[in-house]
Structure 1
Amino acid sequence: MTDFRLGNDGYRFVLVLMMLGLNGVCIAQDAVGAPMVKTEQEALYMAVQGFVGKWWNGSDLYPDPCGWTPIQGVSCDVFDGFWYVTDLSIGQVHENSLPCAQNPEFRTHLFQLQHLKSLSLFNCIISPTQGPITFQSANWEAFSGTMESMEFRANPGLKGHIPTTFGSLKKLESLVLIGNGLSGGLPDSIGELTQLKRLVLSGSSFSGKIPDSYGSLSELLIMDLSRNSLSGSLPLTFGGLTSILKFDLSKNQLEGEIPVQISNLKSLTLFDLSNNNISGELGFTNQEMSSLQELVLSSNFITGDLTNVNWQNLHGLMVLDLSDMKLTGGIPESFLNLKSLRFLGLNDNNLSGNLPPKLNELGNLTALYVHGNNLTGDLKFPLEFYRKMGRRFGAWNNSNLCFPVTRVPAGVRPFGVKVC
């Protein structure tokens, strides 16, 4: 009969093995992660179920939502030794993302997530069959101390106004509302979000004036209010947006002149006011704006003579679109200061005179549109210019403009321009 009794040395050996095994278990537990507070887990499952439908049972499918079996679109972090949800993204972002229900809702459980920093809904609220979904019924103040980013894209079934309570989200750095069914005026309270760096409220039905308070967003890098029905003039307070890089207010019903305070925005790289009712002249260009790369003012009622503009103040421009306005006078050779220019749109104005052949010296220029003006004389560009531009050179609908047939072969002749 085999004797299984161990001596002192054998006992010590087994004890060491047991200790190593226990240590291994502790390490494994650490790798899985900290536990999750039950109320946090229940709030997460109920909040997600409100968006994706009652068919979804997180407690069965994801027993460890922040560890080995994370939920797609859910990110967590550890606070005081426990997992808490920090990011929640719902909608068809990825192939394995949770699909939304026909009647999603903002459940009260969503606002019980104590450390939620980021909330995103993409293509989720489409066309609710039991009445519209709105922001108004939700307790957004609950996120006043945590929320840093909110993004709602392509939710046409999301109706109503932007609630004034968004102004309580003092830590908010990014507010993106694109392509939703929202309407009404823009709340003044957004101007109280002093940490905001990105404000994108495009592609909806917002109307009324832009609040003066938005000029207080001194940390703002991007403002995009395009594709709405905003009216009134540009606030003079916009001169306080000294950090802004991209400024897009295109496709609205804005009017009045461009305030000279815009020239205070020394970091601005994109300024797009196209498709509005803006009038006046280009007075803001009298100041140095060397960072500006894209200036798009097309389809407005802006007047003036291009030869009176100090284009050297905008020498960083890559895109200049002044088409479909009320500009007069000639095309200045001072455009040669724009060494980085790639696109020049001057079509559908009342410009006259000759087309300067020195524009060929702009080595980066790949598109030049001057059609629909009153230009005269013969085109004197070298053959290489026509070959490089191709159909990106538009000069048709200038009745007194022509090209010398002996200089330009048939394959590269400018479209719609008569022979001299």
Structure 2
Amino acid sequence: MKSFITMSHTGFVLFIICLGVWSNGQEDIETAPMEKTEQEALYSAIQGFVGKEWNGSDLYPDPCGWTPIQGVSCDLYDGFWYVSALNIGPVHDNSLSCAPNVEFRPHLFELKHLKVLSFFNCLISPGRHPIPIPTAKWEKFAGNLESLEFRSNPGLTGQIPTSFGGLIKLQSLVLSENGLMGELPTNIGNLINLRRLVLAGNGFTGQIPNSFGGLNELLILDLSRNYLSGPLPSTLGGLISLLKLDLSNNLLDGTLPREIGNLKNLTLLDLRHNKLSGGLTQSLQEMGSLEELVLSNNPIGGDLMSLEWQNMQKLVVLDLSNTSLTGKIPESISELKRLRFLGLNNNNLSGDLLPKLAALPCISALYLNGNNLTGELKFSGWFYGKMGRRFGAWNNPNLCYPMELMSTSNVPYGVKPCQQEVTFYGLDSRTKLGNWNLNQNSHFMASLGFSSYGIDGFWWVFLVEMMMMVLVLNIFL
């Protein structure tokens, strides 16, 4: 009992000490002042974006105290509060809304400890109030800024300032869904600490700079939905850390560089809606981590058989639709056990369809329509019922499904049933009378009093000769 009391007393003393330490720490944080010049710079910068009516009078005791501004974060430096993050726009329900006439005031660049700066859905009037990105003073952020984002600002116009190339601490540069134009500055390749570079959804033109290949730490590169042209730089093969590469919906041409196979960690490669040609480079099969390969709507051409698809076991999405592919569908594609989406539609593929494709354990969408595939579909009715319209085989004129499936509701959409063949004994080929094909009309024989099955060669010859005589008499009489 005495031991228990002693332990309880010791624990209580430790609790009081810790409480005192915590209280003193809290008091330091709560009473820490914001440097006056820092507060003035912040308030002026915010007024430039939300309007002069805002003056921060409802904040106590300052923007980093009990009532902070939504989107503003602070850090302590030498006992003073300094702004470390500034997010302008309706990120939160109670965030400050931007004014119609947005102004980038010089005070913004006086926030000397700023690490994060973002503008979301703030500059929204490209017709009435177009605003360019300031070109000067960005060098003041060179020592601290780690993330710079302009997202969904259609009123943000002009070009990317070349001064962005001096923000050497940047790890994330996102300029997406804006009204920016012009060529991409080559000195963005100087930002060797970048992990994410997203310039999607603008009006950028010109070629992808070779210097981008020097961004060795890059994890995400998204230049989609612009007007970029020219070939893919072979230097992109130097992005050895890259996980996602999206260059879709541009005007890129030329061939797929074999250096692209160096991207061993890539999980997404999206190059759809460009003008790439020259066939599928064999180095694609070296990308063992690839989960999504999307090359649709390019005049790539070439043969699917040129790649060993079984080497890409992690593929979940393979979209090669409308890429001018020729030849047969290789059996190695049926070994991609994780595949969920396979798009080979609108090509010039030929040959019989592999029954093994229906046995892919994860497949949920299989599009083979618009090709020259031939023969009988040997998939089960259960498969057609499961897939529905997500199995596309229409517009293959010489493709058909077995007659026995006609008695069920599970038949492939847009595909005709196979015709039952009847062999004419004693003849070298199928015999057609007029526009009738005898092996399609079992009712024709039954109407003459003969069974359509089990008639020997003599009767076939006799019947054909009689029909020919009738036709000749009809011509001359």
With the length of structure 2 as denominator, give the TM-score of the two structures.
0.81
1:11 corresponds to which residue?
Answer: none
Shift of 1:130: 6.5
1:260 corresponds to which residue?
Answer: 258
> Partners in 2 of 1:291 and 1:24 — Cα distance?
48
Of 414, 421, 424, 1:416 maps to: 414
> Partners in 1 of 2:21 and 2:300 — Cα distance?
75
Which residue identity does 1:243 align to in structure 2? S
2:299 corresponds to which residue?
Answer: 301
Q: 1:239 to 1:23 in 2, by over 3 A?
A: closer
> Partners in 1 of 2:235 and 2:285 — Cα distance?
18
1:202 corresponds to which residue?
Answer: 200
SS of residue paired to 2:409: helix
Alignment of 1:128-139 (within 5 A): 131-139=129-137
Q: Does 1:141 align with 2:135?
A: no
SS of residue paired to 1:372: coil
> Partners in 1 of 2:48 and 2:325 — Cα distance?
55
Q: 1:129 to 1:327 in 2, by over 3 A?
A: closer
Alignment of 1:183-198 (within 5 A): 183-198=181-196
Q: 1:89 to 1:284 in 2, by over 3 A?
A: farther
> Partners in 1 of 2:23 and 2:378 — Cα distance?
82
Q: 1:176 to 1:304 in 2, by over 3 A?
A: same
Among the aligned pairs, what percent are the same residue?
Answer: 63
Q: 1:221 to 1:365 in 2, by over 3 A?
A: same
Of 152, 159, 165, 1:154 maps to: 152
Q: 1:25 to 1:340 in 2, by over 3 A?
A: closer
The C-alpha deviation readout for 1:306-352, integer Å capped at 9, x for no partner, is 12211122221110000011100111111122111110000000011
Shift of 1:367: 0.6
SS of residue paired to 1:331: coil
Alpha carbons 2:135, 2:161 under 8 Å: kept: no
SS of residue paired to 2:164: helix
Shift of 1:241: 0.2
Q: 1:87 to 1:315 in 2, by over 3 A?
A: same
> Partners in 2 of 1:27 and 1:290 — Cα distance?
51
Shift of 1:129: 7.2
Which residue identity does 1:336 align to in structure 2? S
Alpha carbons 1:102, 1:128 under 8 Å: kept: no
Which residue identity does 2:314 align to in structure 1? G
Alpha carbons 1:182, 1:205 under 8 Å: kept: yes
> Partners in 1 of 2:206 and 2:94 — Cα distance?
40
Alpha carbons 1:108, 1:138 under 8 Å: kept: no
Of 116, 119, 122, 1:121 maps to: 119
Shift of 1:287: 4.5
The runs of 5 or more residues in structure 2 that have no matched partner are 1-19, 419-477
Alpha carbons 2:318, 2:341 under 8 Å: kept: yes
Alpha carbons 1:52, 1:100 under 8 Å: kept: yes
The runs of 5 or more residues in structure 1 that have no matched partner are 1-21
> Partners in 1 of 2:158 and 2:385 — Cα distance?
53
> Partners in 2 of 1:55 and 1:167 — Cα distance?
35
Shift of 1:60: 4.4
Q: 1:59 to 1:109 in 2, by over 3 A?
A: farther
Q: Does 1:96 align with 2:68?
A: no
After the TM superposition, list the runs of 4 or more consecutive aligned residues in structure 1 that deviate by more than 3 angstroms: 22-28, 59-63, 128-131, 284-287
Q: 1:351 to 1:47 in 2, by over 3 A?
A: same
> Partners in 1 of 2:411 and 2:393 — Cα distance?
11
Shift of 1:410: 4.1
Q: Which has the higher contact order (CA 8 A, sep 6+)?
A: 1
Alpha carbons 2:129, 2:155 under 8 Å: kept: no
> Partners in 2 of 1:185 and 1:328 — Cα distance?
36
Alpha carbons 2:71, 2:86 under 8 Å: kept: yes
> Partners in 2 of 1:188 and 1:398 — Cα distance?
48
Alpha carbons 2:285, 2:309 under 8 Å: kept: no
2:108 corresponds to which residue?
Answer: 110
SS of residue paired to 1:267: coil
Q: Does 1:71 align with 2:69?
A: yes
2:211 corresponds to which residue?
Answer: 213
> Partners in 2 of 1:259 and 1:411 — Cα distance?
47
The C-alpha deviation readout for 1:72-97, integer Å capped at 9, x for no partner, is 10001001111100001011112111
With the length of structure 1 as denominator, give the TM-score of the two structures.
0.91
Of 289, 292, 316, 1:291 maps to: 289
SS of residue paired to 1:179: strand
Q: 1:334 to 1:370 in 2, by over 3 A?
A: same
> Partners in 1 of 2:133 and 2:163 — Cα distance?
10
Alpha carbons 1:279, 1:302 under 8 Å: kept: yes
SS of residue paired to 1:360: helix
Alpha carbons 1:77, 1:83 under 8 Å: kept: yes
2:399 corresponds to which residue?
Answer: 401
> Partners in 2 of 1:291 and 1:259 — Cα distance?
18
Alpha carbons 1:103, 1:128 under 8 Å: kept: no
Q: Does 1:334 align with 2:332?
A: yes
Which residue identity does 1:190 align to in structure 2? I
Alpha carbons 1:145, 1:171 under 8 Å: kept: yes
Q: Which protein has the larger Cα radius of gyration, Structure 1 or Structure 2?
A: 2
- Of 53-62 and 84-93, deviating more is 53-62
Shift of 1:27: 6.1
2:424 corresponds to which residue?
Answer: none
SS of residue paired to 2:405: coil
Q: Does 1:275 align with 2:247?
A: no
State the number of aligned residues. 399
Alignment of 1:44-63 (within 5 A): 44-63=42-61
The C-alpha deviation readout for 1:222-278, integer Å capped at 9, x for no partner, is 000000000000111111000000000000000000100000010000000000000
